[in-house]
């Protein structure tokens, strides 16, 4: 069952109950002191009216000043706690994204663009600032309203009616604007991200938009998205404007009523002038607190929207991992598919249908077939990126769903279409800083994929920084880095999708000779446009319309 937006926020804040309780404690203490100040001022005015300058008057003045200073100190302590809270929110969110993004099920990312999902992390900044502001402002405002009404009721029973009216008006403002305000905020955020996503696409494909006509298209699409954003932003602003208008009317009515009635009570000697001044100070504090809550509603909408946007990421199903590490390792891996089929989440037709296949250790398999024949999907199921929608996949006689996925992946390497190096050094891209990888392993992997001459030509060698997507590298060298990464741990199975297709034939053929050599006992399952794979692999499997139409075995 999906959580509501408010439930998400409550669950988020539950993680810091101790800090939040401290904020409330300081708010209560500061509120009590703030509302005791009018009583001190009332006593000072009464002493001044009597014409007596005494030690009591001086003491009261110093008590009031001390109260102001103490409220400031308490606010500073709250500030320290909220800073700690902001840091915790940022840290938790970064690790939540860092943990989830690689583990989200591939099916969940169907029709999703992962970098755009990662952009949602910026909503953490809104939660950081907004949630702590709400905790400070709303807690102090609500306490001042409550304590102020209680204190005013001690001056005259009429103020009890004032308190009830105040709470009813505040409830009405919240009741009739909360859902519409949140709804428009969510729609505004949706189009805000569409604008960001399109700008990201323009940046990623900037060369494509250099041509004048293409540039005009880019700007016109941006204009359309911005117009949609502004439309929903205006709708949201109309809610905020309506709330603020209600607040102004509310302030006028309350202020006028209290001034007239307070003056009436003083003239009829039911309140003295000191009580009247103190009551007006309290009333101003209460009205300002109400104003703080109403103005803060926009921040509340922003925070709830941010929580919902991040919640859409955390709701995506992640891969299950074993409760504890398995105590076995593979020496040989056999894969067996029985009547295995697969279709995409919103599709009606199967991409793969009734696949029966057995793959033994050291098999070298070349998958061929036209585009859309199912080669890529088959590789992704065999490598654990996708799960079959029907039928079974067995690994060493265990069903795929029972196998320890992490253990299986530790024994295989995969290069999928479109994969590129990440931002970091060449060494980091090849080894992921795995301490178990030796210098001999690094040299062997680099030499095996013919990457040595290129690395020697670099001033910083393996410590050379790579830009995102390997932008400063040739496509051939980028693929060689991925290939070195794939063999560095000497896996049991290699899954390759178009892994050498961007290299010239001579360089690719040398690497294919190495990969398919009898000296290497790993299993190879590859789809590629390089025909040389077909000559060197021991099994040629032809795919057609999601089925295995033919198989040829070579010695």
Q: What is the CATH number of domain 18-314?
A: 1.20.1560.10
- H/E segment holding residue 59: helix 55-103
Query: How many residues appear in the chain?
Result: 555
pLDDT at 325 exceeding the cut of 60: no
Q: With b meaning 16 or more CB within 10 Å and e meaning fewer, what string describes 528-544?
A: bebebbeebbbbbbbbe
441 confidence band (pLDDT: 50, 70, 90): very high
Residue 22 confidence class, pLDDT cut points 50, 70, 90: confident
Strand order in the sheet with 539-544: 412-415, 493-497, 523-527, 364-368, 539-544, 547-553
Of the CA atoms within 13 Å of residue 524, those in its CB half-sphere come to 29
Question: How far, in Å, CA of 221 to CA of 227, rounded?
Answer: 10
Phi, psi of 384, deg, nearest 5: 90, 5
Is residue 547 scored above 60 in pLDDT?
A: yes
Q: What is the pLDDT of residue 555?
A: 63
Percent of the chain with pLDDT over 70: 88
Instruction: Assess whether pLDDT exceeds 90 at residue 447.
Output: yes
Is pLDDT at 77 greater than 80 in this prediction? no
Lowest mean per-residue pLDDT among 323-337, 436-450, 534-548: 323-337
Between residues 84 and 38, the one the model is more confident about: 84
Q: What is the pLDDT of residue 286?
A: 77
**Reported confidence tier of residue 210, pLDDT bands at 50, 70, 90:** confident
In tens, the pLDDT along 396-421 reads 866 655 567 788 888 899 999 888 89
Inter-residue contact 208 to 218 (CB < 8 Å):
no
* Cα–Cα distance for residue pair 541/365, rounded to 1 Å: 7
Rg, C-alpha atoms of the chain? 34
* Structure tokens belonging to residue 447: 């030499």
Q: Quote the pTM value.
A: 0.77
pLDDT at 502: 87
Backbone angles phi, psi at 76, to 5 degrees: -65, -40
What tokens does 333 get? 């891996």
Output 126 or 247, whichever has higher pLDDT. 126
- Which residues in 207-220 are b (16+ Cβ under 10 Å) and which e? eebeeeeeeeebee
DSSP letters, 405-436, are HHHHHTTEEEE-TT--PPSEEHHHHHHTT-TT
The answer to whether domain 361-386+400-553 has CATH 3.30.479.10 is no
| 7-to-12, 100, 183, 311, 393 alpha-carbon distances in Å | 9, 21, 16, 11, 39
Higher pLDDT, 328 or 193: 193
pLDDT surpasses 80 at 172? no
**pLDDT value at residue 540:** 93
**Tell me, what DSSP letter sits at residue 463?**
G
Helix axes 158-175, 212-267, angle to 10 degrees: 170
- The reported pLDDT for the residue numbered 513 is 93
Is 394 within 8 Å of 400 (Cβ atoms)? yes
* Per-domain boundaries in the chain: 18-314, 361-386+400-553
pLDDT at 2: 61
CA distance 239 to 234: 9
- Write down the pLDDT at residue 326: 54
Identify the residue whose tokens are 């409830």.
171
Cβ neighbours for 8, distance < 8 A, ≥ 6 positions apart: 307, 308, 311
**329 three-state secondary structure:** coil
DSSP-based helix, strand, coil % in the chain, nearest 5: 65, 10, 25
User: Mind listing the pLDDT tens digit for each residue in 153-167?
Assistant: 777 777 777 777 777
pLDDT in tens, 493-546: 999 998 898 888 889 999 999 999 989 999 999 999 888 999 999 999 999 988
Phi and psi dihedrals of 323, rounded to 5?
-60, -35
Long-range contacts of 356-360 (CB under 8 A, 24+ apart): 356/548, 357/541, 357/548, 358/334, 359/334, 359/335, 359/523, 359/525, 360/332, 360/334, 360/523
Q: Return all residues near 110 (Cβ < 8 A) that are at least 6 apart.
A: 344, 345, 346
83-97, 117-131, 145-159: the lowest-pLDDT one: 145-159
In this predicted structure, which of 207-216, 359-368, 428-437, 438-447 has the lowest mean pLDDT? Answer: 207-216
At 522 the pLDDT is 93
> Which residue stretches of 268-403 are H helix?
273-314, 375-382
Among the residue ranges 61-70, 126-135, 403-412, 438-447, the one predicted with the least confidence is 61-70
What gap in Å lies between CA 31 and CA 138, rounded to an integer?
Answer: 12
For all residues of the chain together, what is the average pLDDT?
82
Instruction: Name the least confident of 92-101, 170-179, 368-377.
Output: 170-179
Q: Say what the pLDDT of residue 82 is.
A: 82
> What pLDDT is attached to residue 178?
78
CB 294 within 8 A of CB 251: no
């Amino acid at each position: 069952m999906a959580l509501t937006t408010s439930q998400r926020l409550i669950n988020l804040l539950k993680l810091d109950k101790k800090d939040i309780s401290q904020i409330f404690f300081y708010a209560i203490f500061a509120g009590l002191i703030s509302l005791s100040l009018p009583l001190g001022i009332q006593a000072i005015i009464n002493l001044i009216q009597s014409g007596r300058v005494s030690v009591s008057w001086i003491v009261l003045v110093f008590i009031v000043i001390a109260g102001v200073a103490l409220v400031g100190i308490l606010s500073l302590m709250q500030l320290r706690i909220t800073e700690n809270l902001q840091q915790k929110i940022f840290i938790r969110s970064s690790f939540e994204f860092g943990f989830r993004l690689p583990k989200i099920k591939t099916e969940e990312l169907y029709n999703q663009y992962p970098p755009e999902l990662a952009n949602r992390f910026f909503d953490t900044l809104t939660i950081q600032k907004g949630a702590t502001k709400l905790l400070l402002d709303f807690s102090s405002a609500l306490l001042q309203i409550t304590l102020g009404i209680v204190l005013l009721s001690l001056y005259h029973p009429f103020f009890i009616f004032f308190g009830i009216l105040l709470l009813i008006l505040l409830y009405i403002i919240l009741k009739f604007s909360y859902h519409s305000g949140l709804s428009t905020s969510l729609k505004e955020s949706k189009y805000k991200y569409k604008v960001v996503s399109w700008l990201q696409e323009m940046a990623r494909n900037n060369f494509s938009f250099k041509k004048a006509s293409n540039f005009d298209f880019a700007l016109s699409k941006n204009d359309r998205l911005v117009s949609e954003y502004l439309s929903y932003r205006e709708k949201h602003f109309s809610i905020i404007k309506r709330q603020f208008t209600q607040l102004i009317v509310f302030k006028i009515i309350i202020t006028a009523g209290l001034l007239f009635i307070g003056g009436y009570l003083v003239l009829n000697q039911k309140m003295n002038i000191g009580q009247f001044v103190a009551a007006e100070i309290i009333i101003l504090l209460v009205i300002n607190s109400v104003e703080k809550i109403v103005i803060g509603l926009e921040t509340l909408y922003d925070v709830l929207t941010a929580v919902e946007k991040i919640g859409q990421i955390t709701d995506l199903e992640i891969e299950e991992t074993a409760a504890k590490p398995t105590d076995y390792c593979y020496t040989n891996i056999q894969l067996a598919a029985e009547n295995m089929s697969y279709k995409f989440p919103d599709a009606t037709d199967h991409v793969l249908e009734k696949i029966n296949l057995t793959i033994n250790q050291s098999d070298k398999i070349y998958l061929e077939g036209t585009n859309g024949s199912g080669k890529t999907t088959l590789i992704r199921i065999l490598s654990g990126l996708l799960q079959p929608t029907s039928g079974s996949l067995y690994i060493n006689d265990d069903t795929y769903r029972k196998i320890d996925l992490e253990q299986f992946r530790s024994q295989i390497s995969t290069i999928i279409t479109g994969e590129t190096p990440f931002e970091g050094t060449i060494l980091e891209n090849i080894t992921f800083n795995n301490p178990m990888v030796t210098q001999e392993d690094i040299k062997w992997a680099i030499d095996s994929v013919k990457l040595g001459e290129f690395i020697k030509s670099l001033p910083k060698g393996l410590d050379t920084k790579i830009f995102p997507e390997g932008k400063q590298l040739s496509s051939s060298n980028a693929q060689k880095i991925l290939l070195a990464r794939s063999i560095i741990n000497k896996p049991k199975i290699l899954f390759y999708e178009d892994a050498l297709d961007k290299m010239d034939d001579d360089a690719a053929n040398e690497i294919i000779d190495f990969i398919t050599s009898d000296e290497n006992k790993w299993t190879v399952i590859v789809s590629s446009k390089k025909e040389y794979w077909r000559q060197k692999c021991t099994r040629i499997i032809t795919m057609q319309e999601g089925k295995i139409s033919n198989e040829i075995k070579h010695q």
